[in-house]
Structure formats: C-alpha cells, structure tokens
Structure 1
C-alpha cells in the first residue's frame, strides 16, 4: 500500500509540475552518506518537482518526492513547498512522512550562490517516527550554465516513536555536483 501511495503522490506532483522546463540531476557525498537528487524547474519561477534518495552508511535511507513553488523576490529565490517521503531507518520500522518547509537561494555573484533549506514533519504527518527534520546550507559554484558544484552541510534526522531509536541519516559536510539541461 505504501508503494501505491508513493506512486500516486509522485504522478500527482508530476502533473502539477508540468509547466517546469529545466531538468537537473546531481549527487552529494558526505562522510557517512550519499544523496542523489533530480529536479524539474528548480532554477526558475513557478512549480518545481524534485526527487531525492539519501542513504546513510549507518542509519538507513529516505526517499522523497517534493513539490515547491519558486518565487523570485528581487534577486532571491524563495521556494516554499512540501515533500512526501518513505523512511527506512536501520533500527526501526519503515514508514512515511509528509514534510513542509522550503528553501532560499541568494546569488552572491554571477557564478556563486548561497542556499539553504529546511523541512519538518510532525508526528501527525508521519508513521512510525515521532518527527522528521531536514536542514542544509551551502555555497554553489556554476562555472558554466550546465554544471553546478556544491559545498555545504546537511542534517537529516528521524526521531524514533514509542521508545524506538532515533536515526540521524545525515549530519555533516558534503561536496557535490549537478548537471542542468
């Protein structure tokens, strides 16, 4: 049933994000985790669809589909949104969560941007976890329009429910790159 719900949510998000033009795909690597991501319309105003898979060497993994609405405010890009995710902690039950949050991108120069994002899911929006938190911040360098190199810090935690262990899926610096089409 969980897979059916994730597929239905993903197809719904894809239908809403149909106006997205740009495609992005990338990978970030931290000391104990790997993060793969893709996106449609993540760099332009309007609806944006994103997908993530983050695997921890010690605490499980999390897959998500997200829908944001990018708003240009001066030179800033604000991206409020929501994510539907499947949680697979190593020492607890698999579950799901719906997180709300968003991000901001601030251009520093033509090639450098500072960015940050935060998502949170309370107990009422999740199953088998008390709450979910995700935060990241960093700097990106885009030497050409197709390539983006990132350096930052990521924190992702699944707080256990009913006495189950907390799982910190990511907590540390990362380097990454992405390609934009």
Structure 2
C-alpha cells in the first residue's frame, strides 16, 4: 500500500495499481531463495510516509513489513538582478529588474523584498507588486505566497543626482527561513554631455 498522496513512478513488471494498492504475482520462489523488486515513488506529503508491504503465499502463509520515509519540503529562493547598462545618465530615470524564483518544493510565504540605494541616487517608483518609496529605499508589500516553481518579476526605478559609482542592494526574506537573500550591484553614472555643433561658414572672394 502506497503512502497517502504518493505518485507511482515505476513498478515491477505486471504490477497493477488500484487506488493506493499495488499488487503483482510472483510465479515461483524457491526454498531459501530471495528476489528483489523495485518500486519508485514520488512523495508529495510532508512528514512520515509509510509504505506497507505484505506477501501472501499458498496455505495462507504471509509476511509483512513497513518502510517509513520522513519527508520535509523546503523553499529555495533564487534572486537575479539586472541593473542598468553602464555608464548610466545622471538625472534620467533608470530601471533595475528583479527576478525572484522559488526553486524549492515548498511554497514561500510572507516574502519581503527591500531595495536600497547608496547616497547620490534615489528610487522613484516600484512596479510588479504594491510598493512604497522612502528616502533611499523601495519597500515592496510582502508577497503572501510564492509557490514552488513560481517566478515573480519586480521593477525598481531610480534617478541619480550625482555622477560616480552608485550601489544598489536587494534583500529578500521569507517566513520559512531565517536566511536572508542579499544581492548587490554597482553602476557607474555620468553627467550627460551636450554637444552643440557650431554653424559652418564659407567665405569667398570675388575678383
């Protein structure tokens, strides 16, 4: 009998699955002999997953055993930051793109994302999820749930007030882990250069 919620991946030849019961027939097992059979399962439930085994032979002879596997799902968040192409212009709004993926087997809940800037550059707005801007930071409202395999894309817009190398830092937290996910990027900013072409004149002498 398979554990509750388990999926059958592979079974011995001739095996038949009915509900949670997997049965197959052994034509012959000689005295003192042994046979090995492989059953591969996909376990989806946290906690103790019990596989109950029972073998019944002629004369109502039987043997039974139980194999218990302890399963614990985990979240595995991966953050990717795409910063502006350098050098970026001072005084113009630029975009920082954040891609957050849950590569684990368990949903992440109450996911908090905070974007921070160094002196000389200020965030202007956030997109992709509700966010508020305070000096030097964009604070996204907590994501209620990020399912296993799910990806969310967030955008942070900012504007530099001075030239130089400005730092951008993202911090991610979730209720399922005490580990903080942090990524930092540095982007060079330059003052825009305006070039005005002087009008060309041509003089000639008439003779």
Whichever structure has more helix as a proportion of its residues is 1
TM over 0.5: no
TM-score by length of 2: 0.26
